[in-house]
Each structure stands twice: as structure tokens, then as C-alpha cells.
Structure 1
């Protein structure tokens, strides 16, 4: 079976990006023991990632690069904020350090993460961009399995595992 909408895909991947010097940097991987398993075509994956996988089948190898714009977007210069230190100290918490990734929540209860870029006398500066924003993403791997999604998976909008039986 070829990868197409409403199929469940299990694959391995290695993700690399480049640093400021242009050298490849390993980011993460999924291997045969812990593959990435997802329901294709329901918007859970980056659209261009899925586009590059369209039509592949079990055993096929792949390798492609997504531009920053096709990945997590370019860096938004407006997505930086200064938060008062009291946000962290009022609840008895510790102050974050530069380089930490901290959990935040907006006024609607949506949770997201921000990277700490600086610690000042009264504020903590954070970057609200996705950690992969502004970076090209280089993927390579192997398609381990492609199968039709079950009715439960289609109703729930996600895969239930490589074999369709990892329920919830």
C-alpha cells in the first residue's frame, strides 16, 4: 500500500538542521524500536513533510529538506517578550536561567513553551518562536509500514499504533 490520505504510516527518521557555521547538527530520531506512527492527511504533521512522503510504501527510503518557511516558519521578530520576575517568584518558584525552556499559558488556557534569552533585574526575556523556527529541516529515514486506518482511528483523528491496536 502506498502512503495516501487516511493511511497509518510507521517510519524511522533522523532530523538534522544546520548551525550558524553551516554545519549539520543532529536534532532527534525515531528508530525501528520507537518509530513515528501517525495518521496521514489529518493535519498532525507538517504539510510539506507529508507531501514528501506521498506515494511511498513499506521499505522505501527517503531523504529531503524542508525550508524554514515550510517547517516551523521564519523567526518572528515580534515574538519576544519581557516577563516580570514576579511571575516566577510569587508562587515560590525558582527563576529560570538563560537557555531554559519554560512552560507558559495564554489567557485562553493554551499551553506553549518559550526559551529564556536573558535575565534582567526586573524581567525575564523570552523567545516565543518555535525552537525550530528559522531553521531548515533535513529528514531521512525508512518507511516501516503503511496500512489503512481503522474506523476508530478515523473517528478519533489519530493513529492507535503501528498495528492499530494501541487504544486509549
Structure 2
């Protein structure tokens, strides 16, 4: 069976940056299982997997536009520490949910200088090429429930 829309695919993968540093991997663990065509994985990887079958191995480089997008400078802002109500100490690397005109946005603190805090709302992998080594572990039909909910159901999933 080929990977196609409305099929469930399971893949083993290793994700590296352009310097060869491993960012993420399923090696030694369970494969990543997703519903193809339901935007459960980044578009560039999903597109490369279309038509593949169990046992296929491939190398895929996904450009930022087909991954987590380019870096948006407007998502980097400097705000007053007063904006962090109830937080005693703010340090680089801390994550917060920010309320914006477009809804909630996950931000990370990138710098703290005096009473000023710089936060970045870009995805950590925005602007980066994503290099995948992939092996297709399995392809199966999706259940009606999975299709209705738009994602794979695993043991313990209670909709």
C-alpha cells in the first residue's frame, strides 16, 4: 500500500540541521505515526512521503517555506518585565504564552537586560533547512474515527 491522503503512515526518522547536528530522532523508539493529508507533519516531508511504501528509505531536505517557515522579525519584541505578572525571576530560555491580537502565541525569552525582556514568537526551527533520513515502517488504512478526528488514534486515546 502506498502513502496517500487518508492513509496512516508510520516512519522512523532522524532530523538534522545543515551542520549535521541531530535535532530529533525516532531511533531506538516507536516510529512516528500520522494521518497523511491531514497536516499532521510539515508539508515538505509529507509531500516527499507521498507514494512511498513500507521499507522505502529516503533522504529529504525541507526548505523553511515547506517546514516551519521563515523567521519573522516582527515576532521578536522587547517588552517590560512588568508584562510578566506574577513571575518573580525571568531568564533566557523560559517559555510563555503571550496574548496577541491574533490569539495566543508561544514565545521564548531570548534576552533579559535590566527591566527589558526580549521574546521571540518564531518556531525554534523557523528559517532552517530540515534534513531528514526516513524509513517507512508501515502504511495502513485509516479508521473512520481517525478520519473524522483528523489524526491517528493510539492506545488510550479517548475522544
TM-score normalised by the chain length of structure 2 = 0.89
List aligned pairs for 1:132-143, cutoff 5 A: 132-143=125-136
Q: Is the 8 A contact 2:64 2:70 kept in 1?
A: yes
Show the counterpart of 1:155.
148
Moved over 6 A (4+): none
TM-superposed deviation, 1:148: 0.5
Tell me if 1:33 matches 2:26: no
| CA–CA distance in structure 2, aligned partners of residues 94 and 64 of structure 1 | 44
| CA–CA distance in structure 2, aligned partners of residues 41 and 101 of structure 1 | 33
Structure 2: any 5+ residue segments left out of the alignment?
none
Structure 1: any 5+ residue segments left out of the alignment?
none
TM-superposed deviation, 1:139: 0.5
Q: Secondary structure at the match of 1:69?
A: helix
TM-superposed deviation, 1:128: 1.2
| CA–CA distance in structure 2, aligned partners of residues 51 and 106 of structure 1 | 33
Show the counterpart of 2:56.
60
Query: For 2:66, which of 67, 70, 81 is the aligned residue?
Result: 70
Show the counterpart of 2:12.
12
Q: Is the 8 A contact 1:103 1:111 kept in 2?
A: no
Q: Is the 8 A contact 1:115 1:127 kept in 2?
A: yes
Q: Is the 8 A contact 1:85 1:124 kept in 2?
A: yes
TM-superposed deviation, 1:112: 3.5
| CA–CA distance in structure 1, aligned partners of residues 89 and 11 of structure 2 | 39
Show the counterpart of 1:42.
38
RMSD between aligned residues: 1.9
TM-score normalised by the chain length of structure 1 = 0.85
Number of aligned positions between the proteins: 158
- Relative to structure 1, the CA distance from residue 166 to residue 38 in structure 2 (aligned partners, 3 Å threshold; closer, same or farther) is farther
